[in-house]
Amino acid sequence: MSLTDQLLAQNTVKLDSKIPAGPMADKWNSYKDNMKLVNPNNKRKFKVIVVGTGLAGASAAATLAELGYQVDAFTFHDSARRAHSIAAQGGINGAKNYKGDGDSIHRLFYDTVKGGDFRAREANVHRLAENSVDIIDQMVAQGVPFAREYGGLLDNRSFGGAQVSRTFYARGQTGQQLLLGAYQQFSRQVGLGGIRLFNRTELIDVVVIDGHASGIVVRDLVTGELQSHAAHAVVLATGGYGNAFFLSTNAMACNVTAAWRAHRKGALFANPCYTQIHPTCIPQSDDSQSKLTLMSESLRNDGRVWVPTNPNETRPAHEVPENERDYYLERLYPSFGNLAPRDISSRAAKRAVDKGLGVGPKKNGVYLDFADAINRLGREVVEERYGNLFEMYERIAGENPYEQPMRIYPASHYTMGGLWVDYELMTNIPGLYAAGEANFSDHGANRLGASALMQGLSDGYFVLPYTIGNYLAPMLNKAIPGTDHPAFKAAEEEARIRFNGYLASGGTKSPDYFHRELGKIIWDYCGMERTEEGLKKALSDLPALYDEFKTDLRVTGNGESMNQTLEKAGRVDDFFQLGMLMCKDALDRQESCGGHFRAEYQTEEGEALRDDENYCHVSAWQWGGDPMKPNLNVEKLEFEEVHLATRSYK
């Protein structure tokens, strides 16, 4: 009996993925044909809470409001236009086959399952590939100024892990343009009264009554006031948890609090160890650094990655002769070359730097060189494609990438793990949904480039508006608990005690100090390469540091006005608890797959070695009252359409 089957027999929570029957290509249509509907005139009787206004949240809120539901939308930002979806640079995939190069929905589906190292749920991925086509249409209709060719048709480029050109882009600001498109659609609904917007308001707790998600408790960040909001359904579109590493490409305020508070209320957290390290970020320059900046992966279309063959090389890059350079991605992965997927490119960079071949003042990067592209295409074309990225690099690194190669190094960027959801994107708590990066479902153990934007918009525009209706239809005219229910009062009281506790802790160190130390532990032991020994060390260091956090934290200011130190304390608290779960999950998964690389499980060439016999499952963790003692539940992954194979990009 495989480990998966043994674990399956021990599940304490029933995990029904609700995958529709029928052939893979028909499942989503068959779901839509059979789902329950809410009459247009009855939709206004339902209230839906959407937390987060990034791509997934804004598109879900706008669409639900267009359908006629009452929507309350919450963001901790000052405006719905700020979420970190905005920083995605490279593009969004769509299986349009506009280039006639053999793309299809099936091929995008296949690439995504393979890219995820066969650890995603097939049916979800197929639906994502189907929706990708509609997303492009929808966003063009919203006025997103995608790049075009001279004939006026849309332009495409290729991205890591794909051999076709299916990526639509708007200069290096695709995420910004898509988010603004969704934000404008969302704002139209705010203006029309379909959406009530609560800005500078942070989710503090999820309220579950009789097993159903009944609402949320939020904190007004300007006044510190706690408020309860009741609804028929709650959507968490609150992003990923990459800031657990402290240094990451995430925005400063990105946090796990919403997902974590839902987890503590019973929602299972799936595959927390699946984190993505992006290969092309600007290396750390000094110890006070607050975040790392990503350079779009699209740069790898024209840039060539190399390191000098001599570890003691001191000459500037352009003086190093060709025969003393190692274009290691082109050498190791000839068919994908510089476009090898992110996990593979990241580990290759780490190996080069670990061997002492790193470049730059701290020898902590590799070159991404555009000299060939500039010779081949001319500076003007390179500038048109990547001009704003080059400028950004120059501002940060103080070097001109037209004249000397960029220096890049991997950094934490995206988290594939997240709240466990079924095919309807509902967590195991009825009425509680998770969308976009906050859920776990579509990317398996590794996400391909230009797929995050696609997933956020697919979930928000084309999945939730259907599946939420299916849940709400039977609730028509039935009363739901209001905010005067004792469960809301209890959640508010618990939150009050927690925040007062941070203010009263009277220690000596700031939340930022603890975040930095926490991040170092997670990066060192649960980063690009993990070992049993390291993870065990992390699992002894983390609780010790967490104890120190609880006794030696200092939060200045008060709880009745804007207090960013206090906000940070709450977020760091949740990162501590999540960090323990990440390490626990990484230790438990005794195989390597995608972004989860356990040094003990690798092929002779140093590639990830999966164990399909024992680990072809989703690890969905249940809160056990103590962050060090979660309970494991599993969902077995069955592959009907894609043949399980060793992932090769050679």
Partner 1 sequence: MSHNLKNITLKIWRQDGPQAKGNFETHVIDEITDEASFLEMLDILNDKLVHDGKEAVVFDHDCREGICGTCSLMIDGQAHGPQRGTATCQLHMRQFQDNATITIEPWRASAFPLIKDLMVDRSAFDRVIESGGYITAETGGAPDANLIPIPKPIADAAMDSAECIGCGACVAACPNGAANLFTAAKVAHLNRLPQGQAERYSRVENMVETMDEHFGSCTNHGECEAACPKEISIDVIALMHKDYRKAKFANRKDLARK
Q: Is 40 in the site for partner 1 (CB under 8 A)?
A: no
Applying the rule CB under 8 A, the residues between 438 and 497 that interact with partner 1 are: 461-462, 465
CB of 32 to partner 1, least distance (A): 12
C-beta separation of 219 from 499 below 8 A: yes
Part of the chain binding partner 1 (CB under 8 A), chosen from 36-44, 105-113, 505-513, 624-632: 505-513
Of positions 167, 187, 257, 412, contacts partner 1 by CB under 8 A? 187
Question: Look-up: residue for tokens 């209709």?
Answer: 141
Question: Could you tell me the two tokens for 568?
Answer: 């940070």
Choice between 201 and 427, CB closer to partner 1: 201
At closest approach, how far in Å is the CB of 558 from partner 1? 8
**Distance between CA 587 and CA 609 in Å, rounded?**
15
Which residue in 37, 381, 544, 562 binds partner 1 (CB under 8 A)? 562
Report if residue 500 touches partner 1, rule: CB under 8 A. Answer: no
Using DSSP bridges, classify how beta strands 167-168 and 233-236 pair: parallel, antiparallel or unpaired. unpaired
Q: Which token pair is 296?
A: 């779009």
Identified binder of partner 1 from the candidate list 150, 210, 474, 478, rule CB under 8 A: 150
Which member of 112, 176, 592, 619 binds partner 1 (CB under 8 A)?
A: 176
CA–CA separation, 95 and 103 (whole Å): 6
In this structure, which amino acid lies at residue 575? Answer: F
Q: Are 65 and 195 in contact (CB under 8 A)?
A: yes
Q: Retrieve residue 615's tokens.
A: 């680990």
Of the pair 393, 621, the CB lying nearest partner 1 is at 393
Q: How far apart are CA 218 and CA 198, in angstroms?
A: 10
Among 34, 564, 603, 648, binds partner 1 (CB under 8 A): 564
Minimum gap (Å) between residue 259 Cβ and partner 1: 19
| Distance set, CA 211 to CA 53, 340, 405, 432, 501 (Å) | 26, 45, 56, 10, 29
Select which of 342, 385, 447, 610 is catalytic: 342
**37 Cβ partners below 8 Å, 6+ apart?**
469, 473
The nearest distance, CB 197 to partner 1, in angstroms, is 8
66 binding partner 1? (CB under 8 A):
yes
Q: Which of 361, 378, 606, 624 binds partner 1 (CB under 8 A)?
A: 361
> Is 52 an interacting residue with respect to partner 1 (CB under 8 A)?
no
Identify the residue among 6, 26, 32, 145 touching partner 1 (CB under 8 A): 145
3 state DSSP class of 319: helix
171 binds partner 1 (CB under 8 A): yes
Kindly state the tokens that stand for 122.
Answer: 């097939």
**Whole-angstrom distance, CA of residue 340 vs CA of residue 529:** 18
Give min distance, CB of 512 to partner 1, in A: 6
The type of residue at 184 is: Q
Among 3, 104, 106, 134, binds partner 1 (CB under 8 A): 134
Q: Give, in order, the Cα–Cα distances in Å from 521 to each of 287, 374, 538, 554.
A: 15, 41, 6, 21
Which residues from 188-227 bind partner 1, rule CB under 8 A? 188, 190-191, 197, 199, 222
Query: What is the number of helices (H) and of strands (E) in the chain?
Result: 18, 19
User: Is 342 in the active site?
Assistant: yes
Tell me: does residue 80 bind partner 1 (CB under 8 A). yes
Would you say 338 and 299 are in contact if contact means Cβ atoms under 8 Å apart?
no
Q: Which stretch binds partner 1 (CB under 8 A): 129-137, 238-246, 598-606, 607-615?
A: 129-137
Cβ pair 464, 35 in contact under 8 A? no
Residue 625 sits in the site that holds partner 1 (CB under 8 A): no
Nearest to partner 1 of 319, 604 (CB atom): 319
The site string for partner 1 over 280-309 (x = CB under 8 A, - otherwise) reads: -----xx-xxxx-xx---------------
Neighbours of 190 (CB within 10 A): 18
Is residue 127 part of the contact set for partner 1 (CB under 8 A)?
no
Q: How far is the CB of 370 from partner 1 (least distance, A)?
A: 20
Q: 137, 130 in Cβ contact below 8 A?
A: no
Q: Would you count residue 252 as binding partner 1 (CB under 8 A)? A: yes
Q: What is the C-alpha separation between 212 and 615, in angstroms, rounded?
A: 31
Residue 2, SS3 per DSSP = coil
Letters for 514-553 (x = contact with partner 1 by CB under 8 A, - = none) are: ----------------------------------------
Q: How many residues bind partner 1 (CB under 8 A)?
A: 86
The residue among 239 and 594 lying less far from partner 1, judged by its C-beta, is: 239
Strands (E), 476-581: none
**Which residue is it, tokens 């699946």?**
274
Interacting residue with partner 1 among 140, 209, 475, 545 (CB under 8 A): 140
Pair of tokens at residue 325: 């350079």
Q: How far apart are CA 483 and CA 641, in angstroms?
A: 46
Using the rule CB under 8 A, which residue among 23, 143, 378, 606 binds partner 1?
A: 143
We find the least distance from the C-beta atom of residue 290 to partner 1, in angstroms, to be 5
Catalytic residue positions, numbered:
342
